[in-house]
Structure 1
Amino acid sequence: MYKPRRRQTSDRISLVSETPERTTVMAGSSLSSTAASEQSKTATAATPWLMPVAAFVVLLGAVWLSLYAAYVLLPFLRPGSVVIADAKFDTLVKGAMFGPQDRNRVMVFGHSKLLSALRPRELDAAVGPGFRSYNLGLPGEVHFLPILEAALSAGNVPTHLLLTIPWDDKREAAGFADVVRDDNALASTLFPFRNLPRDTALFVVQNRNRLSDAVRDVEIQRSAMLNDRGWYFIKSQSHYPGDRLPDDYALPADHPARAEIRVIPEKSVARARLEQLARQYRFQILLVPLFFRAGEAAPLPPADNAKLTTISDHPLIRVLGPDYFTYPPALFADPQHMNPAGAQVYTADLAKLLRDSGAFD
């Protein structure tokens, strides 16, 4: 490469002559070539990490889409509790739940204990004409606002909400920082299929000799739950003959002398939202008893059965009956959930409580 020799006089003088002019052009070209070469080297140096990163992003996207497609298209691989909850969210509350002949349109909320205990068709028949109810209990879930809002968004507006568990006591809505700190919620949002490999392996191992029958069983149980308007017998957790606990069944964690008094928070974000919806859609709210196994908690005085307390007028929120019922172990399929016979008894008791209250006259 041509490089001017600064010590020579002719070189210095020739800067204003024709010869230096050509030299300047050559020097400029050399500098341009050098800059271009350096840019090319920089681009070349960047290529080794850009290409692998781009390939990783594409591969990650392909894997994510594949797993998500499998999660959506193969719902029978999910745990039973997820299948039931998804069916209630995606099908039950999005269909036409009530008709013009239904004077009392009732939604009942709770967790898996309610799921196994309330039979809406029998409740309707026991309360009387014009009464139509749905069991919207969700397995492993105490927050009822999401499924209520899903039902309202679909045009299913109740006249009465029955709550077997009160709202929570959180006074501030979850912010972005709370979501980020909640590892389980964040993982569920970003990777809803995160348990799919494990669930697939369990499904195959447990049903290796009857895969097609197992797939049909899941759909049959899902359809039966929808047909029963949300009631579902949790048979998979029953390990005793006849799906009933022994008469002397007890657990070390039981407190037969302690009453489990229901606590109803006066203020919370959930209560404020519920009251807003109640005013907007003009429905009433009743807190009704759930139940405990005899020996799990102390029985309440009979006088509590007729209790009717108003805790709000606008909207109307009332507490009806005792904090809970107690039933013998024979009506339970496992320590927490009722068998079909227990569900009939609880449904009948709740129907009597509703009739006697006059709330649906």
Structure 2
Amino acid sequence: MLDTRVKDWTTEPHGAAVELTYSTLWRTFGVFLILAAAIWLSLYAISKSFPFVQNGATAIAEEKQILALNPHMFAPGDKIRVIAFGNSKTLAGFRPSVFSSQVGSESSAENLAIPGDSRFLDLLETALTHGAAPTHVFLQTLPLPEDEADRSQSPWNYFLDNKKMVKLLFPFRPFIRDAIIFAFESRSAGSLTAQYRSNASQIEKMREERGYYFIKSQSHYAGDRLPDGYSLPTDTPNKVATRNVDTNDPYFQRLMRLADQYDFQIVLIPTAYRPGEFAEAPPIDAESVKALKSFPRVHVVGPAYWIYDLAEFSDPVHLNMHGAERYSKQLAALFQGQIAARR
């Protein structure tokens, strides 16, 4: 006869119910971890398989990391070996091939500037530890004071800096955004394949130019040159710009330790501004010279900046290719006159 009595669950042993609950929880958690790991690995693999989907700044930053790993950055016969670091102004302003051709056959240069970030010491240390041996490091500005997270070299640094933590855990995070931008830009290129080839060719050209990169994407005027009379409301034509030199900052002190350890000189070079952006700079950056006089490895050459013609800028901030050529030639002449002659 069928037993139709309702089972009294209250009579079940309490331990069995708890054990069942924990067992279900752990199985669910295990499935979640497996799925999360599979998604993470898939996104990471896709982002690495299609590097030229990334936008210009991200692709350039990753390429500079690859360039820094090259132990043969300089040839054995290069007596003058220059690496330039900085942000996009250096990236689009310093042409190593032009500079080296002016300085001489026994010189070589590399542009390891990264757009949007003047914090370069990790990249410099990567290059040094992988065999690059510069005689001179070119900087338009010295390291700026950093926040506490950037100053710390402890592994806890990642827990103090949200950006570093997110980058560590989700290195593919910008890929989805870049893929959307890539798909949008591919319409003008004709197809996704054409856009991918275009992006790849830009990075290849940067390799051929030893790290120099013309920022075409921000050039919106005919002939890649600013029109006559161009100005911005933020321009201060009666103000002389000054460099920020903080010799007490740990980031600067770390640079000095690297210079001593790897025996290279630091050359503080002029940057380039538009007419009207600032007033003409004095021929010698006396304030920086005074602040750095007790650091024999640091050399301040020329003024803090040069004023270039509007026609030599492709956008309000960056030099075009003609401006970069002039800047690199002028820098070579300044270097030969003030630094190379002392060696």
Fold similarity call, TM over 0.5: yes
Offset, 1:124: 0.8
Judged with a 3 Å threshold, the aligned counterparts in structure 2 of structure 1 residues 161 and 309 are, in CA distance, closer, same or farther, namely farther
Give 2:309's aligned residue: 328
> Cα gap change, 1:202/1:304 in structure 2, threshold over 3 Å: closer, same or farther?
closer
Residues 238-271 of structure 1 deviation map (CA, whole Å, 9 limit, x = unaligned): 0000000012100011111111111211211112
In 2, the alpha carbon distance for the partners of 1:245 and 1:109 equals 26
Measured in 2, the distance between the counterparts of 1:170 and 1:117 equals 25
Partner of 2:330: 349
Q: What residue is the counterpart of 1:290 in the other structure?
A: 271
**Structure 1 residue ranges without an equivalent (≥5):** 1-35
TM-score by length of 2: 0.88
SS of 2:232 mapped into structure 1: coil
CA distance in 2, matches of 1:119, 1:344: 7
CA contact (8 A) 1:93 1:151 kept: yes
Contact preservation (8 Å) 1:309, 1:320: no
Give the Cα–Cα distance (whole angstroms) in 2 for the partners of residues 195 and 184 of structure 1.
Answer: 12
Asked whether the 8 Å contact 1:275–1:315 carries over to 2, the reply is: no
Structure 2 CA distance, aligned partners of 1:56 and 1:243?
52
Distance 2:117 2:324 in 1: 20
CA apart distance, 1:323: 0.7
CA distances 1:32-69 after superposition (whole Å, capped 9, x unpaired): xxxx9544332112233222222212111111111111
SS of equivalent to 2:173: coil
Alpha-carbon distance in 2 for matches of 1:171, 1:55:
40
8 Å contact 1:171–1:268 — kept in the other structure? Answer: no
Distance 2:93 2:69 in 1: 19
Contact 1:102-1:131 within 8 A present in 2 as well: yes
Indicate if the aligned counterparts of 2:68 and 2:123 stay in contact, CA closer than 8 A.
no
1:14 maps to what in 2? none
SS at match of 2:81: strand
Q: Does 1:112 align with 2:93?
A: no
Which residue matches 2:183?
204
Amino acid of the residue matched to residue 135 of structure 1?
A: N
**Secondary structure, counterpart of 1:214 in structure 2:** helix
**Matching of residues 1-361 of structure 1 within 5 Å:** 37-170=13-146, 173-174=151-152, 179-208=158-187, 209-302=190-283, 311=292, 316-360=297-341, 361=343
Match of 1:26 in 2: none
Question: How has the CA–CA distance of structure 1 residues 211 and 153 changed in structure 2, closer, same or farther, with 3 Å as cutoff?
Answer: same
The 1:282–1:302 alpha-carbon spacing in structure 2 relative to 1, beyond 3 Å, is closer
Q: What is the deviation of 1:123?
A: 0.5
Whole-angstrom CA distance in 2 between matches of 1:337 and 1:51: 56
Q: Distance in 2 between matches of 1:114 and 1:90?
A: 18
Taking structure 1 as reference, are residues 358 and 227 closer, same or farther at Cα in structure 2, changes over 3 Å only?
same
Residues of 2 paired with 1:171 and 1:51: CA distance?
43
* Counterparts of 2:326 and 2:263, CA distance in 1: 31
Query: Which residue number in structure 2 is paired with residue 9 of structure 1?
Result: none
Q: Distance in 2 between matches of 1:91 and 1:170?
A: 25
Give the number of equivalent residue pairs. 326
- Spell out, residue by residue over 1:113-156, the C-alpha distance to the aligned partner (whole angstroms, 9 max, x if none): 11111111110111223111111111111011111111111111
Identity of aligned residues (%): 37
Please list the CA deviations of residues 325-357 of structure 1 after superposition, one character each: whole Å capped at 9, or x if unmatched: 111211100110111111111111111111111
Alignment TM-score, normalising by the size of structure 1:
0.84
Q: Name structure 2 gaps, 5 residues minimum.
A: 1-11
2:160 and 2:67 map into 1 onto residues whose CA distance is: 32
* C-alpha separation in 2, matches of 1:337 and 1:98: 27
Instruction: Indicate if the aligned counterparts of 2:275 and 2:307 stay in contact, CA closer than 8 A.
Output: yes
Higher mean displacement: 233-242 or 170-179: 170-179
Partner of 1:30: none
Counterpart amino acid of 2:336? R
- The answer on whether the counterparts of 2:103 and 2:333 sit within 8 Å (CA) in structure 1 is yes
Higher Rg: 1
